[in-house]
Amino acid sequence: MDEKPPHTIRRRILARGLGLTGACVLGIAIDARSIAAAKSPKAALLYQDHPRDGHRCGDCKFFNAAGNDAPTGTCALVDGTIDRNGWCMAFAPKT
Amino acid sequence: MSLGFVLSETVTRIALTAVAALLLAAAPAHAVPSFARQTGLECVSCHLSWPELTSVGREFKLGGYTLMKEVSGERPWVSLRTEGPPPKLPLAAMLQLSLTHTESTAGTDASDFPRNNAGTLQQLSLFYAGRIAEHFGAFAQWSYDGIAHHSSIDNIDVRFANRYMAANADIAYGLTLNNNPTVSDIYNTTPAWGFPFAASSVAPAPNAATLIDGGLGQQVVGFGPYAMFYRTLYAEVAGYRTADGAFSIFRAGTDKSTDAVLDGVAPYWRLALQHVWEEGAHSAMIGTYGIDVRKFPDSLDPTGPTDRYLDTALDAQYQYITDRHRFSAQLNWIREKQSLDASFGSGAASNPSDVLKTFRGKVTYYYDRRYGATLAYFRTTGNSDDALYNTGIPLTGSASGSPNNSGYIVELNWLPRRDIRLAAQYTAYTTFNGSSTNYDGFGRNARDNNTFYLLAWLMF
Protein backbone atom coordinates (compact mmCIF):
# COMPACT_ATOMS: atom_id res chain seq x y z
CA MET A 1 0.00 0.00 0.00
CA ASP A 2 1.08 3.55 -0.73
CA GLU A 3 1.40 5.37 2.59
CA LYS A 4 2.67 8.69 1.24
CA PRO A 5 0.50 11.75 2.03
CA PRO A 6 -2.11 12.58 -0.66
CA HIS A 7 -0.45 15.85 -1.70
CA THR A 8 2.82 13.98 -2.41
CA ILE A 9 0.96 11.47 -4.58
CA ARG A 10 -0.86 14.27 -6.41
CA ARG A 11 2.44 16.04 -7.07
CA ARG A 12 3.95 12.81 -8.35
CA ILE A 13 1.00 12.17 -10.71
CA LEU A 14 1.13 15.81 -11.87
CA ALA A 15 4.87 15.52 -12.52
CA ARG A 16 4.35 12.34 -14.55
CA GLY A 17 1.49 13.96 -16.46
CA LEU A 18 3.70 16.97 -17.25
CA GLY A 19 6.50 14.60 -18.24
CA LEU A 20 4.24 12.71 -20.66
CA THR A 21 2.86 15.97 -22.08
CA GLY A 22 6.41 17.26 -22.51
CA ALA A 23 7.41 14.08 -24.34
CA CYS A 24 4.39 14.45 -26.66
CA VAL A 25 5.16 18.12 -27.38
CA LEU A 26 8.82 17.24 -28.06
CA GLY A 27 7.74 14.45 -30.43
CA ILE A 28 5.36 16.83 -32.21
CA ALA A 29 8.00 19.56 -32.47
CA ILE A 30 10.45 17.10 -34.05
CA ASP A 31 7.72 15.59 -36.24
CA ALA A 32 6.47 19.00 -37.42
CA ARG A 33 9.89 19.74 -38.92
CA SER A 34 9.50 16.89 -41.36
CA ILE A 35 7.35 17.85 -44.34
CA ALA A 36 6.48 14.28 -45.31
CA ALA A 37 2.95 13.27 -44.42
CA ALA A 38 2.12 9.82 -43.12
CA LYS A 39 0.18 8.50 -46.07
CA SER A 40 -1.73 5.27 -46.36
CA PRO A 41 -0.71 2.37 -48.63
CA LYS A 42 -3.11 1.91 -51.55
CA ALA A 43 -4.20 -1.52 -50.39
CA ALA A 44 -5.28 -0.30 -46.95
CA LEU A 45 -7.94 1.95 -48.49
CA LEU A 46 -8.89 -0.53 -51.26
CA TYR A 47 -7.55 1.74 -54.01
CA GLN A 48 -8.55 0.62 -57.51
CA ASP A 49 -7.73 2.07 -60.93
CA HIS A 50 -11.36 2.44 -62.00
CA PRO A 51 -14.29 4.48 -60.63
CA ARG A 52 -16.98 3.29 -58.23
CA ASP A 53 -20.59 4.46 -58.58
CA GLY A 54 -19.44 7.43 -60.69
CA HIS A 55 -16.92 8.52 -58.02
CA ARG A 56 -13.34 8.92 -59.28
CA CYS A 57 -10.11 10.35 -57.90
CA GLY A 58 -10.20 13.25 -60.39
CA ASP A 59 -13.25 14.58 -58.50
CA CYS A 60 -11.79 14.02 -55.03
CA LYS A 61 -10.51 16.85 -52.83
CA PHE A 62 -7.36 14.88 -51.97
CA PHE A 63 -6.26 14.47 -55.62
CA ASN A 64 -3.50 16.60 -57.14
CA ALA A 65 -3.24 16.15 -60.93
CA ALA A 66 0.24 15.97 -62.47
CA GLY A 67 -1.01 18.43 -65.10
CA ASN A 68 -4.27 19.85 -66.41
CA ASP A 69 -5.10 16.84 -68.55
CA ALA A 70 -2.68 14.38 -67.00
CA PRO A 71 -4.21 10.93 -66.50
CA THR A 72 -2.41 10.51 -63.19
CA GLY A 73 -1.47 12.53 -60.13
CA THR A 74 -0.82 12.20 -56.43
CA CYS A 75 -3.08 12.01 -53.39
CA ALA A 76 -2.81 13.87 -50.10
CA LEU A 77 -3.68 10.66 -48.24
CA VAL A 78 -2.63 7.69 -50.38
CA ASP A 79 0.91 6.73 -51.39
CA GLY A 80 2.14 6.43 -54.97
CA THR A 81 0.89 7.43 -58.40
CA ILE A 82 -2.88 7.79 -58.54
CA ASP A 83 -5.04 7.28 -61.62
CA ARG A 84 -7.47 10.14 -62.30
CA ASN A 85 -10.15 7.51 -62.88
CA GLY A 86 -9.25 5.55 -59.76
CA TRP A 87 -11.16 5.35 -56.47
CA CYS A 88 -10.55 4.44 -52.82
CA MET A 89 -12.56 4.30 -49.60
CA ALA A 90 -11.34 7.76 -48.55
CA PHE A 91 -13.04 9.40 -51.56
CA ALA A 92 -14.40 12.86 -50.67
CA PRO A 93 -15.88 15.02 -53.42
CA LYS A 94 -14.49 18.50 -54.02
CA THR A 95 -16.85 21.11 -52.60
CA MET B 1 -26.44 25.12 -2.76
CA SER B 2 -22.86 24.08 -3.49
CA LEU B 3 -20.48 26.01 -5.69
CA GLY B 4 -20.12 22.94 -7.89
CA PHE B 5 -23.89 22.78 -8.39
CA VAL B 6 -24.10 26.49 -9.27
CA LEU B 7 -21.19 26.11 -11.71
CA SER B 8 -22.84 23.07 -13.26
CA GLU B 9 -26.12 24.93 -13.71
CA THR B 10 -24.32 27.91 -15.25
CA VAL B 11 -22.29 25.73 -17.58
CA THR B 12 -25.45 23.83 -18.56
CA ARG B 13 -27.23 27.10 -19.45
CA ILE B 14 -24.23 28.34 -21.43
CA ALA B 15 -23.93 25.00 -23.20
CA LEU B 16 -27.65 24.91 -24.05
CA THR B 17 -27.31 28.41 -25.53
CA ALA B 18 -24.30 27.21 -27.51
CA VAL B 19 -26.29 24.22 -28.81
CA ALA B 20 -29.11 26.50 -29.93
CA ALA B 21 -26.63 28.82 -31.66
CA LEU B 22 -24.94 25.90 -33.41
CA LEU B 23 -28.24 24.44 -34.55
CA LEU B 24 -29.31 27.80 -35.95
CA ALA B 25 -26.03 28.25 -37.81
CA ALA B 26 -26.58 27.55 -41.49
CA ALA B 27 -22.90 27.32 -42.43
CA PRO B 28 -21.41 23.88 -43.11
CA ALA B 29 -19.53 22.19 -40.30
CA HIS B 30 -15.97 23.32 -39.78
CA ALA B 31 -15.49 22.45 -36.13
CA VAL B 32 -14.77 18.73 -36.19
CA PRO B 33 -12.44 16.71 -33.97
CA SER B 34 -8.72 16.37 -34.27
CA PHE B 35 -8.69 13.17 -36.36
CA ALA B 36 -10.69 14.93 -39.09
CA ARG B 37 -8.46 18.02 -38.88
CA GLN B 38 -5.37 15.80 -39.23
CA THR B 39 -6.60 13.72 -42.16
CA GLY B 40 -9.05 16.03 -43.90
CA LEU B 41 -11.55 13.17 -43.88
CA GLU B 42 -15.20 13.73 -43.01
CA CYS B 43 -16.41 12.08 -39.79
CA VAL B 44 -18.57 9.74 -41.90
CA SER B 45 -15.54 8.33 -43.72
CA CYS B 46 -14.19 6.71 -40.55
CA HIS B 47 -17.51 6.25 -38.76
CA LEU B 48 -20.73 4.55 -39.80
CA SER B 49 -22.04 7.10 -37.37
CA TRP B 50 -19.60 8.08 -34.66
CA PRO B 51 -18.20 6.37 -32.71
CA GLU B 52 -18.89 3.16 -34.72
CA LEU B 53 -15.93 2.58 -37.05
CA THR B 54 -16.02 1.83 -40.76
CA SER B 55 -13.25 -0.05 -42.59
CA VAL B 56 -11.47 3.30 -43.06
CA GLY B 57 -11.70 4.03 -39.35
CA ARG B 58 -10.32 0.60 -38.49
CA GLU B 59 -7.37 1.16 -40.83
CA PHE B 60 -6.76 4.56 -39.22
CA LYS B 61 -6.70 2.98 -35.75
CA LEU B 62 -4.46 0.11 -36.92
CA GLY B 63 -2.11 2.79 -38.25
CA GLY B 64 -1.76 4.21 -34.75
CA TYR B 65 -3.81 7.38 -35.46
CA THR B 66 -0.88 8.65 -37.57
CA LEU B 67 -2.43 9.02 -41.06
CA MET B 68 -2.03 12.69 -42.01
CA LYS B 69 -2.89 14.54 -45.16
CA GLU B 70 -0.14 16.14 -47.24
CA VAL B 71 -0.83 19.85 -47.51
CA SER B 72 1.66 22.62 -48.21
CA GLY B 73 1.92 25.52 -45.81
CA GLU B 74 2.87 26.20 -42.21
CA ARG B 75 1.12 23.95 -39.71
CA PRO B 76 -0.57 25.92 -36.90
CA TRP B 77 -0.17 24.72 -33.32
CA VAL B 78 -3.92 24.69 -32.78
CA SER B 79 -6.75 25.00 -35.30
CA LEU B 80 -10.43 24.18 -35.63
CA ARG B 81 -10.31 24.14 -39.45
CA THR B 82 -10.71 20.87 -41.36
CA GLU B 83 -9.17 22.33 -44.50
CA GLY B 84 -5.58 23.53 -44.68
CA PRO B 85 -2.51 22.19 -42.90
CA PRO B 86 -3.28 19.99 -39.89
CA PRO B 87 -2.55 21.51 -36.47
CA LYS B 88 0.56 20.33 -34.62
CA LEU B 89 -1.44 19.69 -31.45
CA PRO B 90 -4.32 17.26 -32.13
CA LEU B 91 -6.72 18.62 -29.52
CA ALA B 92 -10.48 18.09 -29.41
CA ALA B 93 -13.35 18.35 -26.96
CA MET B 94 -16.71 16.74 -26.28
CA LEU B 95 -19.81 17.89 -24.43
CA GLN B 96 -22.78 15.75 -23.40
CA LEU B 97 -25.97 17.38 -22.14
CA SER B 98 -28.75 15.05 -21.10
CA LEU B 99 -32.10 14.57 -19.44
CA THR B 100 -33.17 11.35 -17.71
CA HIS B 101 -36.66 10.21 -16.80
CA THR B 102 -36.96 6.98 -14.82
CA GLU B 103 -40.40 5.33 -14.93
CA SER B 104 -41.02 5.26 -11.19
CA THR B 105 -39.23 6.62 -8.14
CA ALA B 106 -41.95 5.53 -5.69
CA GLY B 107 -40.73 3.98 -2.46
CA THR B 108 -37.12 5.03 -3.01
CA ASP B 109 -34.87 7.60 -1.43
CA ALA B 110 -34.60 10.93 -3.28
CA SER B 111 -30.81 10.60 -3.28
CA ASP B 112 -31.17 7.51 -5.51
CA PHE B 113 -32.40 9.74 -8.33
CA PRO B 114 -30.24 12.87 -8.08
CA ARG B 115 -31.15 14.39 -11.46
CA ASN B 116 -34.35 12.68 -12.51
CA ASN B 117 -36.42 14.79 -14.96
CA ALA B 118 -33.73 17.48 -14.92
CA GLY B 119 -31.36 18.64 -17.61
CA THR B 120 -27.75 18.13 -16.73
CA LEU B 121 -24.25 18.56 -18.02
CA GLN B 122 -23.43 14.86 -18.08
CA GLN B 123 -19.86 14.91 -19.32
CA LEU B 124 -17.23 17.25 -20.66
CA SER B 125 -14.11 15.71 -22.19
CA LEU B 126 -10.84 16.96 -23.57
CA PHE B 127 -8.88 14.85 -26.04
CA TYR B 128 -5.33 14.63 -27.23
CA ALA B 129 -6.07 12.48 -30.25
CA GLY B 130 -3.83 12.07 -33.26
CA ARG B 131 -0.28 11.73 -34.44
CA ILE B 132 2.57 12.40 -32.01
CA ALA B 133 5.47 11.56 -34.33
CA GLU B 134 6.20 9.22 -37.21
CA HIS B 135 4.77 5.80 -36.24
CA PHE B 136 3.46 7.14 -32.89
CA GLY B 137 -0.03 8.33 -32.09
CA ALA B 138 -2.45 8.56 -29.20
CA PHE B 139 -6.08 8.71 -28.19
CA ALA B 140 -6.12 10.25 -24.71
CA GLN B 141 -9.23 11.51 -22.94
CA TRP B 142 -9.74 13.45 -19.72
CA SER B 143 -13.36 13.74 -18.55
CA TYR B 144 -15.35 15.89 -16.17
CA ASP B 145 -18.37 14.16 -14.62
CA GLY B 146 -21.14 16.75 -14.33
CA ILE B 147 -23.07 14.64 -11.80
CA ALA B 148 -20.20 13.91 -9.39
CA HIS B 149 -18.53 17.29 -10.13
CA HIS B 150 -15.25 15.48 -10.48
CA SER B 151 -12.74 15.02 -13.28
CA SER B 152 -10.42 12.10 -13.95
CA ILE B 153 -8.57 10.25 -16.65
CA ASP B 154 -10.74 8.47 -19.22
CA ASN B 155 -9.73 6.12 -22.03
CA ILE B 156 -6.06 6.15 -23.07
CA ASP B 157 -4.60 4.31 -26.05
CA VAL B 158 -1.02 5.20 -27.02
CA ARG B 159 0.28 3.39 -30.10
CA PHE B 160 3.33 2.56 -32.15
CA ALA B 161 2.35 1.39 -35.63
CA ASN B 162 4.03 0.24 -38.81
CA ARG B 163 3.25 -1.80 -41.91
CA TYR B 164 5.18 -4.51 -43.69
CA MET B 165 4.33 -4.75 -47.37
CA ALA B 166 5.96 -7.01 -49.94
CA ALA B 167 4.86 -8.70 -53.14
CA ASN B 168 2.62 -11.16 -51.33
CA ALA B 169 2.56 -9.76 -47.84
CA ASP B 170 0.57 -7.06 -46.07
CA ILE B 171 0.91 -6.90 -42.31
CA ALA B 172 -0.16 -3.86 -40.32
CA TYR B 173 1.34 -4.19 -36.85
CA GLY B 174 2.01 -2.20 -33.75
CA LEU B 175 2.07 -1.88 -29.98
CA THR B 176 -0.60 -0.48 -27.71
CA LEU B 177 -0.33 0.96 -24.22
CA ASN B 178 -3.81 1.53 -22.79
CA ASN B 179 -5.87 1.62 -19.61
CA ASN B 180 -9.00 -0.35 -20.49
CA PRO B 181 -9.19 -3.91 -21.86
CA THR B 182 -10.86 -3.77 -25.34
CA VAL B 183 -10.32 -0.01 -25.79
CA SER B 184 -7.61 -0.96 -28.28
CA ASP B 185 -10.02 -3.09 -30.30
CA ILE B 186 -11.03 -2.02 -33.80
CA TYR B 187 -14.59 -3.41 -33.81
CA ASN B 188 -17.73 -2.15 -32.10
CA THR B 189 -18.76 -5.40 -30.49
CA THR B 190 -16.40 -5.35 -27.50
CA PRO B 191 -17.36 -3.54 -24.28
CA ALA B 192 -15.23 -0.37 -24.49
CA TRP B 193 -16.70 0.68 -27.85
CA GLY B 194 -19.95 -1.28 -27.86
CA PHE B 195 -23.54 -0.02 -27.88
CA PRO B 196 -24.94 1.97 -26.15
CA PHE B 197 -22.30 4.57 -26.97
CA ALA B 198 -23.84 6.89 -24.40
CA ALA B 199 -26.33 6.21 -21.62
CA SER B 200 -27.75 7.90 -18.56
CA SER B 201 -25.32 8.12 -15.68
CA VAL B 202 -28.08 8.72 -13.12
CA ALA B 203 -30.56 5.93 -13.96
CA PRO B 204 -30.58 2.64 -11.99
CA ALA B 205 -28.36 -0.06 -13.47
CA PRO B 206 -28.37 -3.81 -12.72
CA ASN B 207 -25.88 -5.06 -10.12
CA ALA B 208 -24.20 -7.76 -12.17
CA ALA B 209 -21.72 -7.34 -15.02
CA THR B 210 -18.69 -9.31 -16.10
CA LEU B 211 -15.31 -7.85 -15.23
CA ILE B 212 -14.24 -7.24 -18.82
CA ASP B 213 -17.50 -5.35 -19.36
CA GLY B 214 -16.15 -2.07 -18.01
CA GLY B 215 -15.03 -3.41 -14.63
CA LEU B 216 -11.35 -2.63 -15.17
CA GLY B 217 -11.46 0.59 -17.18
CA GLN B 218 -9.22 3.43 -15.93
CA GLN B 219 -7.87 1.16 -13.16
CA VAL B 220 -5.32 -0.95 -15.01
CA VAL B 221 -2.60 -0.49 -17.58
CA GLY B 222 -1.94 -2.91 -20.42
CA PHE B 223 0.76 -3.29 -23.01
CA GLY B 224 1.01 -5.59 -25.99
CA PRO B 225 1.40 -6.14 -29.72
CA TYR B 226 -1.31 -6.31 -32.36
CA ALA B 227 -1.30 -7.16 -36.05
CA MET B 228 -3.65 -7.36 -39.01
CA PHE B 229 -2.51 -10.02 -41.46
CA TYR B 230 -3.47 -9.56 -45.10
CA ARG B 231 -6.38 -7.31 -44.05
CA THR B 232 -8.11 -10.52 -42.93
CA LEU B 233 -6.84 -11.85 -39.60
CA TYR B 234 -6.57 -9.53 -36.61
CA ALA B 235 -4.65 -10.66 -33.52
CA GLU B 236 -3.78 -8.87 -30.31
CA VAL B 237 -2.29 -9.96 -27.00
CA ALA B 238 -1.57 -7.82 -23.96
CA GLY B 239 -0.78 -8.04 -20.28
CA TYR B 240 -2.71 -5.87 -17.81
CA ARG B 241 -1.60 -4.91 -14.31
CA THR B 242 -2.76 -2.50 -11.64
CA ALA B 243 -2.14 1.08 -12.73
CA ASP B 244 -0.12 1.99 -9.66
CA GLY B 245 3.40 3.24 -9.06
CA ALA B 246 4.96 4.52 -12.27
CA PHE B 247 1.69 3.83 -14.12
CA SER B 248 -0.61 5.78 -11.77
CA ILE B 249 -1.20 8.43 -14.46
CA PHE B 250 -3.41 5.84 -16.20
CA ARG B 251 -5.91 6.03 -13.31
CA ALA B 252 -5.33 9.62 -12.25
CA GLY B 253 -8.32 11.08 -10.42
CA THR B 254 -10.15 7.78 -9.91
CA ASP B 255 -11.31 6.40 -6.55
CA LYS B 256 -8.44 4.26 -5.22
CA SER B 257 -10.68 2.71 -2.55
CA THR B 258 -12.73 0.94 -5.22
CA ASP B 259 -10.22 0.64 -8.09
CA ALA B 260 -9.42 -2.96 -8.98
CA VAL B 261 -6.09 -4.22 -7.64
CA LEU B 262 -4.78 -7.19 -9.62
CA ASP B 263 -2.40 -9.89 -8.48
CA GLY B 264 0.32 -9.94 -11.11
CA VAL B 265 -0.34 -9.59 -14.81
CA ALA B 266 -3.66 -10.50 -16.44
CA PRO B 267 -3.33 -11.87 -19.99
CA TYR B 268 -5.72 -10.45 -22.62
CA TRP B 269 -6.19 -11.96 -26.05
CA ARG B 270 -8.10 -11.08 -29.20
CA LEU B 271 -8.51 -12.90 -32.51
CA ALA B 272 -10.82 -11.81 -35.34
CA LEU B 273 -11.40 -12.90 -38.89
CA GLN B 274 -12.75 -10.21 -41.20
CA HIS B 275 -13.76 -9.94 -44.83
CA VAL B 276 -14.47 -6.81 -46.86
CA TRP B 277 -16.14 -7.14 -50.25
CA GLU B 278 -17.86 -5.27 -53.08
CA GLU B 279 -15.39 -2.37 -53.01
CA GLY B 280 -15.78 -1.90 -49.28
CA ALA B 281 -19.59 -1.70 -49.23
CA HIS B 282 -19.85 -4.87 -47.13
CA SER B 283 -17.70 -6.01 -44.24
CA ALA B 284 -18.10 -8.85 -41.76
CA MET B 285 -16.16 -10.09 -38.76
CA ILE B 286 -16.29 -13.04 -36.39
CA GLY B 287 -13.97 -13.17 -33.42
CA THR B 288 -13.10 -14.10 -29.88
CA TYR B 289 -11.46 -12.29 -26.98
CA GLY B 290 -10.94 -12.69 -23.28
CA ILE B 291 -8.99 -11.96 -20.13
CA ASP B 292 -7.81 -13.98 -17.11
CA VAL B 293 -7.71 -11.82 -13.98
CA ARG B 294 -6.64 -12.51 -10.42
CA LYS B 295 -8.00 -9.72 -8.26
CA PHE B 296 -7.85 -8.84 -4.59
CA PRO B 297 -11.36 -8.40 -3.15
CA ASP B 298 -10.32 -5.47 -0.93
CA SER B 299 -8.51 -2.77 -2.93
CA LEU B 300 -7.25 -1.12 0.25
CA ASP B 301 -5.72 -4.36 1.53
CA PRO B 302 -4.25 -6.18 -1.49
CA THR B 303 -2.82 -9.14 0.40
CA GLY B 304 -3.75 -12.79 0.88
CA PRO B 305 -5.92 -14.91 -1.41
CA THR B 306 -7.45 -13.58 -4.61
CA ASP B 307 -10.56 -14.10 -6.75
CA ARG B 308 -10.05 -15.33 -10.30
CA TYR B 309 -12.21 -14.11 -13.21
CA LEU B 310 -11.83 -15.94 -16.51
CA ASP B 311 -13.77 -14.05 -19.18
CA THR B 312 -14.11 -15.56 -22.65
CA ALA B 313 -16.17 -14.02 -25.41
CA LEU B 314 -17.41 -14.53 -28.95
CA ASP B 315 -18.42 -11.63 -31.18
CA ALA B 316 -19.56 -10.91 -34.71
CA GLN B 317 -20.23 -7.82 -36.78
CA TYR B 318 -21.66 -6.96 -40.20
CA GLN B 319 -21.72 -3.54 -41.89
CA TYR B 320 -23.23 -2.31 -45.15
CA ILE B 321 -22.14 1.22 -46.01
CA THR B 322 -23.10 3.42 -48.96
CA ASP B 323 -23.55 7.18 -49.27
CA ARG B 324 -27.31 6.95 -48.73
CA HIS B 325 -27.88 3.79 -46.68
CA ARG B 326 -25.87 2.48 -43.76
CA PHE B 327 -26.64 -0.66 -41.80
CA SER B 328 -24.79 -2.59 -39.13
CA ALA B 329 -25.36 -5.48 -36.75
CA GLN B 330 -23.25 -6.55 -33.77
CA LEU B 331 -23.44 -9.61 -31.54
CA ASN B 332 -21.45 -10.24 -28.38
CA TRP B 333 -21.44 -13.16 -25.93
CA ILE B 334 -19.33 -13.08 -22.76
CA ARG B 335 -18.97 -15.99 -20.32
CA GLU B 336 -17.30 -15.36 -16.98
CA LYS B 337 -16.12 -18.11 -14.65
CA GLN B 338 -15.63 -16.66 -11.18
CA SER B 339 -13.45 -18.62 -8.74
CA LEU B 340 -14.14 -16.71 -5.55
CA ASP B 341 -11.62 -18.24 -3.14
CA ALA B 342 -10.98 -14.95 -1.34
CA SER B 343 -14.52 -13.55 -1.31
CA PHE B 344 -16.07 -16.89 -0.28
CA GLY B 345 -13.54 -17.22 2.51
CA SER B 346 -14.38 -13.78 3.88
CA GLY B 347 -18.14 -14.16 3.47
CA ALA B 348 -18.38 -11.59 0.65
CA ALA B 349 -19.64 -14.33 -1.70
CA SER B 350 -22.13 -17.10 -0.92
CA ASN B 351 -20.57 -19.60 -3.34
CA PRO B 352 -16.95 -20.63 -3.95
CA SER B 353 -17.55 -20.21 -7.68
CA ASP B 354 -20.12 -18.54 -9.93
CA VAL B 355 -20.83 -18.19 -13.62
CA LEU B 356 -22.08 -15.06 -15.35
CA LYS B 357 -23.12 -14.89 -19.00
CA THR B 358 -23.90 -11.77 -20.98
CA PHE B 359 -25.37 -11.45 -24.46
CA ARG B 360 -25.78 -8.22 -26.40
CA GLY B 361 -27.05 -7.68 -29.91
CA LYS B 362 -28.00 -4.59 -31.86
CA VAL B 363 -29.00 -3.49 -35.34
CA THR B 364 -28.54 0.05 -36.63
CA TYR B 365 -29.77 1.82 -39.75
CA TYR B 366 -28.84 5.33 -40.91
CA TYR B 367 -30.45 7.20 -43.77
CA ASP B 368 -28.43 9.89 -45.52
CA ARG B 369 -25.84 9.65 -42.69
CA ARG B 370 -28.11 11.92 -40.68
CA TYR B 371 -31.14 10.01 -39.41
CA GLY B 372 -30.56 6.80 -37.49
CA ALA B 373 -32.33 4.16 -35.44
CA THR B 374 -30.91 1.38 -33.28
CA LEU B 375 -32.65 -1.55 -31.65
CA ALA B 376 -30.67 -3.50 -29.07
CA TYR B 377 -31.29 -6.50 -26.82
CA PHE B 378 -29.30 -7.34 -23.70
CA ARG B 379 -29.39 -10.24 -21.27
CA THR B 380 -27.21 -11.33 -18.34
CA THR B 381 -27.79 -14.62 -16.55
CA GLY B 382 -25.95 -16.56 -13.87
CA ASN B 383 -26.33 -18.57 -10.72
CA SER B 384 -27.66 -16.88 -7.60
CA ASP B 385 -25.22 -15.56 -5.04
CA ASP B 386 -26.94 -13.62 -2.28
CA ALA B 387 -23.81 -12.08 -0.77
CA LEU B 388 -22.59 -10.95 -4.15
CA TYR B 389 -25.74 -9.58 -5.78
CA ASN B 390 -28.19 -8.68 -3.00
CA THR B 391 -27.56 -5.35 -1.31
CA GLY B 392 -30.64 -5.95 0.87
CA ILE B 393 -32.02 -2.47 0.31
CA PRO B 394 -34.79 -1.07 -1.92
CA LEU B 395 -33.98 -0.37 -5.56
CA THR B 396 -30.54 -2.03 -5.67
CA GLY B 397 -31.45 -5.26 -3.86
CA SER B 398 -32.01 -8.68 -5.38
CA ALA B 399 -34.37 -10.70 -3.18
CA SER B 400 -33.48 -13.92 -4.99
CA GLY B 401 -29.76 -13.14 -5.05
CA SER B 402 -29.92 -13.63 -8.80
CA PRO B 403 -27.81 -11.54 -11.20
CA ASN B 404 -30.27 -11.96 -14.06
CA ASN B 405 -31.28 -8.93 -16.05
CA SER B 406 -32.62 -8.43 -19.54
CA GLY B 407 -34.32 -5.88 -21.72
CA TYR B 408 -34.09 -3.83 -24.85
CA ILE B 409 -33.00 -0.38 -25.97
CA VAL B 410 -34.55 1.72 -28.70
CA GLU B 411 -32.56 4.74 -29.81
CA LEU B 412 -33.31 7.40 -32.41
CA ASN B 413 -30.59 9.73 -33.65
CA TRP B 414 -30.51 12.94 -35.62
CA LEU B 415 -27.26 14.60 -36.67
CA PRO B 416 -28.15 18.17 -37.75
CA ARG B 417 -24.43 18.65 -38.32
CA ARG B 418 -21.70 16.08 -38.63
CA ASP B 419 -20.36 17.00 -35.19
CA ILE B 420 -23.65 17.16 -33.28
CA ARG B 421 -25.72 14.16 -32.27
CA LEU B 422 -29.19 14.46 -30.78
CA ALA B 423 -30.50 11.18 -29.41
CA ALA B 424 -33.64 9.87 -27.75
CA GLN B 425 -33.12 6.53 -26.02
CA TYR B 426 -35.58 4.26 -24.21
CA THR B 427 -34.32 1.37 -22.07
CA ALA B 428 -36.92 -1.19 -21.01
CA TYR B 429 -36.16 -3.93 -18.49
CA THR B 430 -37.98 -7.25 -18.62
CA THR B 431 -35.86 -8.56 -15.73
CA PHE B 432 -33.84 -6.56 -13.20
CA ASN B 433 -31.65 -8.00 -10.44
CA GLY B 434 -33.24 -11.41 -10.78
CA SER B 435 -36.94 -10.85 -11.35
CA SER B 436 -39.55 -8.93 -13.31
CA THR B 437 -41.73 -8.22 -10.25
CA ASN B 438 -40.78 -7.34 -6.69
CA TYR B 439 -37.14 -7.97 -7.53
CA ASP B 440 -35.72 -6.13 -4.50
CA GLY B 441 -38.15 -7.66 -1.97
CA PHE B 442 -39.57 -4.19 -1.29
CA GLY B 443 -42.18 -4.21 -4.07
CA ARG B 444 -40.20 -2.65 -6.92
CA ASN B 445 -40.72 -4.09 -10.41
CA ALA B 446 -38.19 -4.30 -13.24
CA ARG B 447 -40.24 -1.97 -15.45
CA ASP B 448 -40.09 0.76 -12.76
CA ASN B 449 -36.46 1.23 -13.86
CA ASN B 450 -37.37 1.81 -17.49
CA THR B 451 -35.50 4.92 -18.56
CA PHE B 452 -36.15 7.64 -21.13
CA TYR B 453 -33.00 9.55 -21.95
CA LEU B 454 -32.46 12.60 -24.14
CA LEU B 455 -28.95 13.50 -25.20
CA ALA B 456 -27.23 16.35 -27.01
CA TRP B 457 -23.70 15.21 -27.86
CA LEU B 458 -21.34 17.78 -29.33
CA MET B 459 -17.82 17.30 -30.66
CA PHE B 460 -15.40 20.20 -31.16
Average of per-residue pLDDT across B188-210: 95
Say how far apart CA A32 and CA A76 lie, in whole Å: 17
Contacts of A48 in chain B (CB under 8 A): 279
Q: Across-strand partners of B282?
A: B277, B320
Per-residue pLDDT reduced to its tens digit, B110-164: 888 888 999 999 999 999 999 999 899 999 999 999 999 999 999 999 999 999 9
The rounded radius of gyration (Å) of the Cα atoms in chain A is: 23
Average of per-residue pLDDT across A51-63: 94
Contacts of B246 in chain A (CB under 8 A): 16
Interface of B with A in 387-446 (CB under 8 A): none
Distance of CA A10 to the CA centre of its chain: 36
Instruction: Return the amino acid letter for B289.
Output: Y
Taking 3-state DSSP, the helix, strand and coil percentages for chain A, each rounded to the nearest 5, stand at 35, 20, 45
Per-residue pLDDT reduced to its tens digit, B317-329: 999 999 899 999 9
Per-residue pLDDT reduced to its tens digit, B372-428: 999 999 999 999 999 999 999 999 999 999 999 999 999 999 999 989 999 999 999
Q: Across-strand partners of B376?
A: B362, B409
C-alpha pair distances (Å), A27 with each of B26, B126, B174, B399: 38, 20, 18, 56
Helices H, strands E: what count in chain B?
Answer: 6, 19
Report whether pLDDT(B212) > 50.
Answer: yes
Q: What is the pLDDT of residue B19?
A: 43
Q: Is B283 on the interface with A (CB under 8 A)?
A: no
Average of per-residue pLDDT across A22-48: 70
Domain ranges of chain B: 99-121+149-459
Contact B56 A24 (CB under 8 A): no
Domain ranges of chain A: 1-36, 43-83
Contact A38 B63 (CB under 8 A): yes
Contacts of B69 in chain A (CB under 8 A): 37, 62, 76-77
Q: Is B74 on the interface with A (CB under 8 A)?
A: no
CA distance A62 to chain B (A): 8
**What are the phi and psi torsion angles at B187 (to 5°)?**
-115, 165
Size of interface A-B (CB pairs under 8 A): 101
Share of chain B above pLDDT 70, in %: 93
Contacts of A9 in chain B (CB under 8 A): 248
Contacts of A90 in chain B (CB under 8 A): 41, 45, 56
Average of per-residue pLDDT across A4-17: 60
Report whether pLDDT(A10) > 90.
Answer: no
Q: Is B56 on the interface with A (CB under 8 A)?
A: yes
Question: Who contacts B365 (Cβ-Cβ below 8 Å, separation ≥6)?
Answer: B325, B326, B327, B372, B373, B374
User: What's the mean pLDDT when you consider all of chain A?
Assistant: 78
Q: Is B53 on the interface with A (CB under 8 A)?
A: no
Contact A32 B302 (CB under 8 A): no
Instruction: Return the amino acid letter for B45.
Output: S
Q: What is the pLDDT of residue A23?
A: 61
Q: Is B302 on the interface with A (CB under 8 A)?
A: yes
Strands (E), B340-450: 353-367, 371-382, 405-417, 420-431
Confidence band for B18, pLDDT divided at 50, 70 and 90: very low
The structure's pTM equals 0.88
Report whether pLDDT(B235) > 90.
Answer: yes
Using CA coordinates, name the residue in chain B closest to A75.
B70
Q: What is the pLDDT of residue B427?
A: 98
Report whether pLDDT(B294) > 50.
Answer: yes
Per-residue pLDDT reduced to its tens digit, B329-368: 999 999 999 999 999 999 999 999 999 999 999 999 999 9
Domain B99-121+149-459 has CATH 2.40.160: yes
Say how far apart CA B210 and CA B357 lie, in whole Å: 8
Q: Which of B454, B385, B448, B459 is nearest to B113 (CA)?
A: B448
Of A17, A24, A39, the CB nearest to B252: A17
Side-chain-side CA neighbours of B284 within 13 Å: the count stands at 3
Report whether pLDDT(A4) > 80.
Answer: no
Average of per-residue pLDDT across B22-50: 71
Confidence band for A9, pLDDT divided at 50, 70 and 90: low
